[in-house]
Structure 1
């Protein structure tokens, strides 16, 4: 009789535990998460990883953080890439899939594949530079939900205005989330890397 009561009590405790877990509020990402993930339109773009043209399949089998920028960028780009380099090992702890960073150059006039290779190589093997001319580049960037400005043809020394947000693409090659930059007076707009780490842990797990 006593053993039966113990078994019954254990079953009740387990049921209560499961119910509590199911109804207890679970942590939610602060980023904008797409459920279901959104497919990307077909694209073709040059990559420093292969030194040739790639397509949507290059995003499959890995988590990818996509960021628009350019090698002549004085502030947002080197800051963001350095921050991502710093947290990348922590992101990798939450998944068995590789975590990669794509720098999408929005300055095809000055950013050759060779220059991009040298630039992204500084940050490590997980960093890939991709480029295309504006007719292919602009639709690709716009499909990601990002933007950039195109300078006049005769301009030589110029800045390119571009989004500071980071797009997360899942291992199926679909857009999963967007991490928007913080815009604070007197500071360059950059993504909160602590938030990105917390959100990625929730999304990837």
Structure 2
């Protein structure tokens, strides 16, 4: 009789336990999503609901070598537009990103490449980009190209800039302070929005990369 009673009790407990576990899963999934969203918000990082493909474009890197958007495959890239004569936003961004990358875990850092694309191709030759970026000693890449190609790329990345309208003398170039996040499949995944929150990014970027 005792064995029969225990079997009946087990039979009653099993469905209840299943309901409890299912409830915990339902509750935990939104909680995890909220935690991740909070992490992204703290990092001022916006991920797109769907990846966006980039157009096939040909540019020139800081070594004077041909560079195509296909070469973005296989690694995470962080891309922003700027110019070497920029008085504030660009040097601040580069300094901050150098600090950030050096503070990340090695397995995360090794998967990331920062790229500065010029919004001032008249003055930013490959040699100028190379000299400028070498100052930071962080392995940053630079890209230049025709104005038409640069504007196509800026539109596809959601990083607008306004051409200066001149090519000589001392002038400024208006450009976005945001940074585009490109996945290893070469698609646009989202943006790091200015101003940069280095503490938040230090936590969020490893999570974004690990989720791939």
TM tier relative to shorter chain: 0.7 to 0.9
Cα distance change, pair 154–145 in 1 and its aligned pair in 2 (3 A) = closer
Inter-partner Cα distance in structure 2 for 1:138 and 1:84: 24
Matches within 5 A, 1:137-176: 137-153=150-166, 155-176=168-189
Matches within 5 A, 1:1-205: 21-26=28-33, 27-28=36-37, 29-30=40-41, 31-48=45-62, 51-93=64-106, 95=108, 98-153=111-166, 155-181=168-194, 190-204=195-209, 205=211
Q: Deviation string for 1:146-192 (max 9, x for gaps)?
A: 111222336411011111011111111111111221xxxxxxxx322
Query: Offset of 1:195 from its aligned partner?
Result: 3.1
Q: Deviation string for 1:29-62 (max 9, x for gaps)?
A: 22221132111111111112x5311112221111
Query: Offset of 1:135 from its aligned partner?
Result: 1.9
Query: Contact (CA 8 Å) 1:99, 1:126: kept in 2 or not?
Result: no
Q: Which has the larger radius of gyration?
A: 2
Query: Contact (CA 8 Å) 2:123, 2:167: kept in 1 or not?
Result: no
Query: Offset of 1:142 from its aligned partner?
Result: 1.5
Q: Deviation string for 1:73-95 (max 9, x for gaps)?
A: 11110011000000103445463
Q: What TM-score, normalized by structure 1, do the two folds share?
A: 0.80
Query: Offset of 1:202 from its aligned partner?
Result: 2.9
Cα distance change, pair 164–194 in 1 and its aligned pair in 2 (3 A) = same
Structure (1 or 2) with the greater helix fraction: 2
Cα distance change, pair 19–68 in 1 and its aligned pair in 2 (3 A) = same
Structure 1 regions of 5+ residues with no counterpart?
A: 182-189
Structure 2 regions of 5+ residues with no counterpart?
A: none
Cα distance change, pair 150–16 in 1 and its aligned pair in 2 (3 A) = closer
